[in-house]
Amino acid sequence: MLTYVIRRMGLMVFILLGVSVITFSMMHFVPGDPAEVIATERYGEEITTETIEFVRAELGLDQPVYIQYFRWLTNVLRGDLGYSFRTDRPVLDEILTRLPATVQLALAGMLVALLIAIPVGIVSATRQYSAVDNISMFGALLGVSIPNFWLGLLLILFFSLYLGWLPVFGRGGIEHLILPALTLGTGMAAITTRLIRSSMLEVLGQDYIRAARAKGLKEKVVIYKHALKNAMIPVVTIVGLQFASLLEGAVIAEVIFAWPGIGRLLVDSIFARDFMLIQGCILFIAAMFVLVNLLVDIFYTYLDPKIHYEAK
């Protein structure tokens, strides 16, 4: 187990290095003069040629690319992700101040997904091929097919403007969370519902369930006490891996609902070509993602002691 974790950690470091090289080279081999773009972004209204040269020197953009990369990398290893070109604040600060908002939104989205998926998935599985099952499977396909940016706009239009029940934008009380969480959670709810259904079906076909039924246990006990517990194991994995799609969805939801999270920070910095911030965000998101995957795998072993990892 320990060797497995160490091996995975090593792989993680390698992946993150790869990620940083890719983002860095992407940033630096694109057409256009970053100093000029940054100067315009920073000073907007009126800039001069001197300002551009000043920006270039200040940000070290006049150095060769590999020197820029190694300087950046050594700083990262010391925990310094550099300064945002646009706001002149430390990149790590920018990311960390927005982290809670994104985590909150992602958790809320996940909650919405599970609140829908668990009951619907169980009912669908226990009544396979019934009308309920067909409708919910159709709904699940609809859920993954609906463009979430479109859904978000329609939700605002309907619930905030026509009905006036929920706020249009921003982070605040629980009422601010509902629409973004719905926008974010729909796709995941659809995927999770299907997963719970198929996982339940598989478990319900197992010998020990048949044995439990044969023993005359109540159907409710069989389903909730025996089947559900075992059916949840693969679900936990997928829910963990869904974290990635939650982050993707968060970009859209954060843009539409003016939610001050990391997704929007990334979009803003991409449009402003705020290279340091783009690099920092991508590295941070990738690190988070890889780490979550690792935790999911470890948790999975813990849930299901039958699985053993061996270092090959």
Partner 1 sequence: MHDLVTKIIEGRRPLTEVFRRLKKHRLAMIGAAIILALVLIAVLAPFIAPHDPIEQNLEHRLLSPNTEYLLGTDNLGRCILSRLIHGASVSLQIGVMVVGIAAFVGVTLGLIAGYRGGLTDELIMRIVDILLAFPGIILALAIAGILGPSLYNVMLALAVIGWTSYARVVRGAVLSVKEKEFVEAARALGTGEARIMFRHILPNVMAPVIVMATLGMAHVILAAAALSFLGLGAQPPTPEWGSMLNDGRAFMRSAPHLTIFPGLAIMVTVLAFNFLGDALRDILAKA
Partner 2 sequence: MRMNKKIKTISLAICLVFLGVVLAGCAGQQAEEAKVEVPQEVIAGLGRDPVGARGAHPYLTRVFEQLVILDAEMKPRPGLATSWEVSEDGLTWTIRLREGVKFHDGTPFNAEMAKFSLDWGTRVRPGLLGPVDRIEIVNDYIIKVIHSEPYAPFVRSLFFFVMISPAAIDEEDRVIESIGTGPFKVEDHQPGDKLVLIRNEDYWGGIPRLERVTLRYIPDPTTRVMALEAGEIDMIIDTGGILPEQAPVLEANPEIEVMTIHGVVHHHIGFDTTTPPFDDVRVRKAISYAIDTESLVRYALEGYGTVMRTSVPPLHKDWMHPETLFEFNDQDRARELLQEAGWVDTNGDGIVEGDREEFRVTMHLAGGWVGRWPYKTIAEVMQADLREVGIIMDIEVVDTGLWREMMERGDVEMTLIPIAGISPRSAVRDTFHSEGGMTVATNPPFFSHPRIDELTEAAMKETDDAKAQRLLFKVQEIVAEEVLMIPLFEEVMINAVRDNIRGYKLHPWFIVNWEDIYVVAP
Binding-site ranges for partner 2 (CB under 8 A): 30-34, 36-37, 40, 42-52, 54, 84-89, 93-94, 97-98, 101, 153, 156-157, 160-161, 164, 167-171, 255-258, 260, 264-265, 268, 271, 273
List the interface residues with partner 1, window 254-273 (CB under 8 A): 255, 263, 266-267, 270-271, 273
Shortest CB 102 distance to partner 1, Å: 12
CA dist 1 and 307 (Å) reads: 11
Nearer to partner 1, 212 or 247 (CB): 247
CA atoms within 13 A on the CB side of 54: 9
Determine which residue in the list 161, 163, 174, 214 makes contact with partner 1, applying CB under 8 A.
161
DSSP state of 85: T
DSSP state of 61: T
Helix H or strand E segment including 305: none
CA dist 133 and 195 (Å) reads: 13
The two structure tokens encoding residue 275: 């290279």
289 binds, among partner 2, partner 1, none (CB under 5 to 8 A by kind): partner 1
Burial category of 163 from C-beta neighbours within 10 Å (exposed 0-12, middle 13-18, buried 19 and up): exposed
Residues within the interface to partner 1 (CB under 8 A): 11, 14-16, 18-19, 22-23, 26-27, 30, 138, 141-142, 144-150, 153-154, 157, 161, 244-245, 247-248, 251-252, 255, 263, 266-267, 270-271, 273, 278, 282, 285-286, 289-290
